[in-house]
Chains A and B, each alone.
Chain A
Amino acid sequence: MLKIRNLESGYGKLRVLKKVSLHVDAGEIVTLIGANGAGKTTLLYTIAGMIKATGGDIVLFDKNLRNASPQHIVKLGCSLVPEGRQVFATLSVTDNLILGGYVQYKRDRHYNRQAELAAIYDIFPVLHDRREQLAGTLSGGEQQMLAMGRALMAGPKLIMMDEPSTGLAPLIVKEIFKIIIRLRQAGNTVLLVEQNAKAALGIADRGYVLETGKIILQGPADDLLNNADVQRAYLGRDVDADTATCEI
């Protein structure tokens, strides 16, 4: 579905991504983990067309996105849920969702907005309870759900999520991840960027590890979870110490 080859990107003279290659197949949850400053957000922004790539290819549904505008990419069916929610704080919850659906509305004037809204409210019942409220007054978890709902309103085939667990209570994080699993069951494809590597690898099919702009490891999520380097660097477990205790 999404194929990235030797992608290079950055801000001005600063090269952040150095020949990154990855692919996402239809129906998968793929996670990208890495520390702060590894280039995870840059990668998503480059795919979404917010940052222009300086080299390499991004191919979505056999179309090259290298010089496509963000609007065009959303229209093609690839939506990004940005880090930090970024809801339209001064607009109501319903208006936020309706705005997310404008891409579909422009494509087809007869599209059924009410049905789409109902589907979103079905996934996120709490948004239905708050539908008249201004988005800025929602709690962090609700805003995250709203941001996800807004992206879903565009009817994406690939949904990219940038750190959906940031700043949320563990219980809420669990709920958000459950919803991501549900999205996959409903036929969506998810590219998930996370610092919470354990949770992300727990629900993903495959994973990539990004470090200082390069993919250093990739493979099935279970393999990565059991990989000693990943465990030491991202799961906070000192593998050597563990084995040492075992020997005693």
Chain B
Amino acid sequence: MKRILIVDDAATVRLFHRAILESAGYAVDEAVNGIEALEKALQSTFDLYLVDVNMPKLDGYGFLRELRGSELPQAPAIMISTEAGARDEQLAYAAGANAYLVKPTRPERLLLLVRMLIGEVPA
């Protein structure tokens, strides 16, 4: 089973994303900020990261920069933001994101991106 780490400080958002991803057959773990996400990434392997931008202690950009600059096994990352601005999307890609989603999440859009990035492209 493919494993996804949800990194978001809002509990409701984590629950929502967990419900979507679990019902699509993924295993899910959670972290409330970038540092906890790094701790989890050090302790187990994930196939994808779903990362919020604004979080305490270490934000989403900071987490992705650390992850990409580390010797940890790499996996694709989707950055999720409340901002639709081009600037933020650029920052996300510069930090190492592979896709950018604007909140509130549409389940079908999220699953489409997840499947594509994990490599489960429909035939």
Check if A and B associate. Answer: no
A residues apposed to B, CB below 8 Å: none
B residues apposed to A, CB below 8 Å: none
